[in-house]
Amino acid sequence: MPGFELFGDKEKKQVQDVLDSGVLMRYGFDGMRNGHWKTKELEVALASRMQSQYAHAVSSGTAALTVALSSAGVGAGDEVILPTFTFVASFESILALGAIPILVDIDDTLTLDPKAVEKAVTERTKVVMPVHMCGSMADLNALQQICDQHGLLLLEDACQAIGGSYHGKPLGSIGDLGCFSFDYVKTITCGEGGAVITNSETYYENAHKYSDHGHDHIGNDRGAEAHPFLGYNFRISELNAAVGLAQLSRLDEFLAIQKRNYTILRESLSEIPEIRFRRVPEGGEENYSFLSFFLPSEELTQKAHQALGANGIDGCFYWYNNNWHYYKKWEHLTQLKSLGKLPQEILDSLPDYSQADFSASDKWMGRTISCLIKLGWSKEEMKLRAQKMVSTIQELV
């Protein structure tokens, strides 16, 4: 997955342009820039690649989620449905706006289970947020139907899935809003960065204003810009955008490597009849950044994960015990541990997660191993790795 594995001349050239002009800010300083508008170029290239009307780049994926939600008017007391398997940024962005994160079970796609989503919809629900974890998606048609039926927004967290698609459309472009992360370990990296894509002019207009203190960006005089509403600073710098611009131009090259390495590993693991792969919904194509599979029992999965590590096979994750990605270890959320005083809406409305039953999620997560697919691995290295993995697991099953 990480694009940083393949930094090269393109990244250097783009960054050098920015340093030569000295303008690290995405707005203004027109006379000094030598015509370099790296963030704008990144936005145009991303919108085009994602077949989306608008793209707005920001400082991180977390910022993208926060900006996307606020651009659609999500705020205090609104409920946002998200999966039990995600990254902590999902609920951070929701809580930052005073909205309520409603955790919902996953299924064998390792993302939102549409049936569980349907059950979780209330009068306060505003958004359904599928998270395309490890490069693959939920059954988005089913989720779209639920959203249409109840008048909800579909917001795709595609932070880990850039380049994947669903019925021919790029992941991120299917919902009302889509978010990407370009942090240091993502398929395309800016160092730190993110982006929101949408076909809604209103959301786009809100997004670029909100992420720059509410400035309306009309005219050339920064100091004279009006403030139609309160905002924040989620701006990306030109240096970061320059790296991302080079990386985005290499997306297809990266995806081809990921697909090659994923396929080698998948074909090898298919020799083990006890292994079942994560379900990719009909019409979906992963971005091949991870290969995720289930073993028959939790006990066996834990043993296999340990044995892989002990045999020096890095990059295999057992998310069930992971602090960052699974609800079990999120006591800061479930116990509402906050530095400051939280908005009353959140205190009043957060579900009692200590009583929640996520056994349906546990059933899948407890048996899941996800293997990171690195860009730097050659075909030969990948084959050796795959053989080593197969023999390690075969000894246990």
Ligand X SMILES: *Cc1c(COP(=O)(O)O)cnc(C)c1O
**Position of minimal CB gap to ligand X:** 61
For residue 261, what is the enclosing H or E element?
helix 251-269
| Per-residue tokens: 367 | 């048996």
Cβ atoms 198, 177 nearer than 8 A:
yes
As measured in angstroms, the least distance from the Cβ of 74 to ligand X is 16
| Residue ranges of E strands in the chain | 54-58, 79-83, 100-104, 125-128, 153-157, 165-166, 169-170, 177-181, 194-198, 276-277, 284-285, 290-294, 316-317, 368-372
User: Whose Cβ is closer to ligand X: residue 82's or residue 389's?
Assistant: 82
Q: How far apart are CA 60 and CA 232, in angstroms?
A: 13
Cβ atoms 179, 156 nearer than 8 A:
yes
User: Whose Cβ is closer to ligand X: residue 60's or residue 261's?
Assistant: 60
User: Whose Cβ is closer to ligand X: residue 289's or residue 392's?
Assistant: 289
User: Whose Cβ is closer to ligand X: residue 60's or residue 287's?
Assistant: 60
Active-site residue among 126, 186, 209, 328? 186
Q: How far apart are CA 254 and CA 252, in angstroms?
A: 5
Looking only at the bridges linking them, the beta strands covering 290-294 and 284-285 are unpaired
As measured in angstroms, the least distance from the Cβ of 183 to ligand X is 4
Active site residue 169: no
**Binding footprint of ligand X on the chain (CB under 6 A):** 60-62, 86-87, 89-90, 131, 157, 159-160, 181, 183, 194
As measured in angstroms, the least distance from the Cβ of 322 to ligand X is 12
User: Whose Cβ is closer to ligand X: residue 160's or residue 198's?
Assistant: 160
As measured in angstroms, the least distance from the Cβ of 22 to ligand X is 26
Task: Collect all residues with Cβ–Cβ distance below 8 Å to 373 and sequence separation of at least 6.
Answer: 1, 258, 261, 262, 265, 288, 289, 290, 291
As measured in angstroms, the least distance from the Cβ of 65 to ligand X is 6
Catalytic residue annotation:
186
